[in-house]
Amino acid sequence: MSSSVSSGNKAPLGADLIIPGLALCFAIYFYFSIADLAWEAKANGVLIGAVLIVLIGIQLVRIGVAVARGDGTLSFERVLAPREALPKRVGLVLLTVAFILALPWLGLSLSLLLAMVAALYLMGVRKRSHLVWPSLGVAASAYLMFVAFLASDIPHGPVENLIAYLIRG
């Protein structure tokens, strides 16, 4: 398109900057988190982080070219519309932050169960069985995959500790 395109026809590309921005924050965190690892792990970490930063750069160039050509704007219209959905979106972000903050104390299973119930409720689910059963299924699946089978370092809380106690006898 030419630069004479009216602003109403320009693609709102500001929302396309959100994930690259978050990815850049993750890459920076990643570089700080690998500082104390063995050199082999650092080498892999630097390579993974570098690939991520290159991909972020490609996205930024793509958006910059579109804006420079007049095909797009840095508007966040796609994120903000429809306005009536905005409170639910903000609520889901806040629930995600609460989940991350609760994870070290409540553990994976209980944090995920509570976050799922709250998210479903926020999205309008009101039938108790529709709130509880999918949430229990997701929490149980996460427990089985990350705690039981993979024995990952995901934080253990009361549920994981109780199950470990019951299994040990």
User: Are 120 and 64 in a shared domain?
Assistant: no
Domain membership of residue 149 as a residue range: 82-168
User: Are 72 and 88 in a shared domain?
Assistant: no
User: Are 72 and 96 in a shared domain?
Assistant: no
Q: What's the pLDDT score for residue 2? A: 41
User: Are 87 and 153 in a shared domain?
Assistant: yes
**What pTM does this model have?**
0.65
User: Are 66 and 39 in a shared domain?
Assistant: yes
> Where is the domain boundary, 19, 45, 79?
79
User: Residue 5: pLDDT above 80?
Assistant: no
User: Are 27 and 104 in a shared domain?
Assistant: no
Q: What's the pLDDT score for residue 92? A: 94
> Where is the domain boundary, 79, 95, 122?
79
User: Are 66 and 93 in a shared domain?
Assistant: no
Mean pLDDT of 51-68: 95
Mean pLDDT of 135-145: 96
Find the range with the poorest average confidence among 1-10, 24-33, 56-65, 92-101: 1-10
Structural domain includes residue 86? yes
> Where is the domain boundary, 30, 50, 79?
79
Counting residues of the chain whose pLDDT is more than 70, the rounded percentage is 95
Q: What's the pLDDT score for residue 8? A: 64
What is the DSSP track for the chain?
--TT--GGGSEE-GGGGHHHHHHHHHHHHHHHHTTTS-HHHHHHHHHHHHHHHHHHHHHHHHHHHHHHHTSEE---HHHH-SGGGHHHHHHHHHHHHHHHHHHHHHHHHHHHHHHHHHHHHHTT---HHHHHHHHHHHHHHHIIIIIIIS---PPP-HHHHHHHHHHH-
Query: Per-residue pLDDT tens for 40-52?
Result: 878 888 888 899 9
Structural domain includes residue 2? no
User: Are 122 and 57 in a shared domain?
Assistant: no
Task: Look at the chain and report how many structural domains it folds into.
Answer: 2
Query: Per-residue pLDDT tens for 7-36?
Result: 568 888 988 999 899 889 888 888 888 878
User: Residue 77: pLDDT above 90?
Assistant: no
User: Are 141 and 164 in a shared domain?
Assistant: yes
User: Residue 3: pLDDT above 80?
Assistant: no
Q: What's the pLDDT score for residue 28? A: 87
